[in-house]
Structure 1
Amino acid sequence: MSEQLKLTNQVCFPVYTLAKEVISLYRPILKKLDLTYPQYLVMLVLWEEGDQSVSEIGSKLNLDSGTLTPLLKRLEHKKLIERKREITDERVVKINLTELGENIQEKAECVPGQIMTSLNISVDKLTELKNIIEHILNQINGKNKTNL
């Protein structure tokens, strides 16, 4: 067998494993908020930027509408968001936070700190990892802006 085909020499495998492990660290923390990790990501976008269209959220999270729509329906069922069609263009669905959705932001403030504690890694190392990942993603997506 060639060295290139050994699992231990693959870049993708530790990246894949890390993603799974980090998301699994979020599960018990987000369970207290009654959110899944993808739902948490949607809420982060809405807390940060306010009302958004489905396509705007999808673009920011790199999710297609087929994945995003059921996720938004579950958030609406939990009464955290409202989905409303634009009056001027019914094809556009706007998402806005409900009062309950706004209120759980305060409870979510502890999530990043708890994740940092669970990871047991310095902020500098984590920032370095984030910058490298963003650089690679920018290269894959053909963007020339980088933080490195």
Structure 2
Amino acid sequence: MDLNSEGLLLLTNDGALARRLELPSHQWVRRYRVRVFGLVDEKRLAALAEGSVFDGVRYGAIQAGLDSRRGDNSWLTVSLQEGKNREIRRVMAALNLHVSRLIRVAYGPFQLGTLQKRALEEVPIKTLREQIGGFEAAPRRKAARSVAR
């Protein structure tokens, strides 16, 4: 996530675990709530599910739906697996939408839920083993979910 984003972060001091969590081969869905400014075209949002190319960059399938609209501001739910750098902001810009707020609410099986801002919650090793095939925790290695703002 970038400086202008908020929401769920997964933190670890285990480099191998961090790499496994970010690999696209896990095909974990990253889900976001996105507030955009501009006129939302629901047909163009739906077309993102087929993948897209903007400014010569190919983006994988993105599931995007309109949740609510108030004037020129709208809230969307956006889900993707690929997660290229600033992907949501770039794709929305290509649709003539300005992202004014971006909140990650889920990363694979890990949910933001009711975790408060700046809070930290350790993910039990059992949960990691269940969610990441072949994962074995090394001594003193930790994983946690956190909220950033």
The TM tier, using the shorter chain, reads: under 0.3
Larger Rg: 1
> Which one has the bigger strand percentage?
2
Larger relative contact order, structure 1 or 2 (CA cutoff 8 Å, min sep 6): 2
> Which one has the bigger helix percentage?
1
Query: Structure 2 length normalisation: TM-score?
Result: 0.25
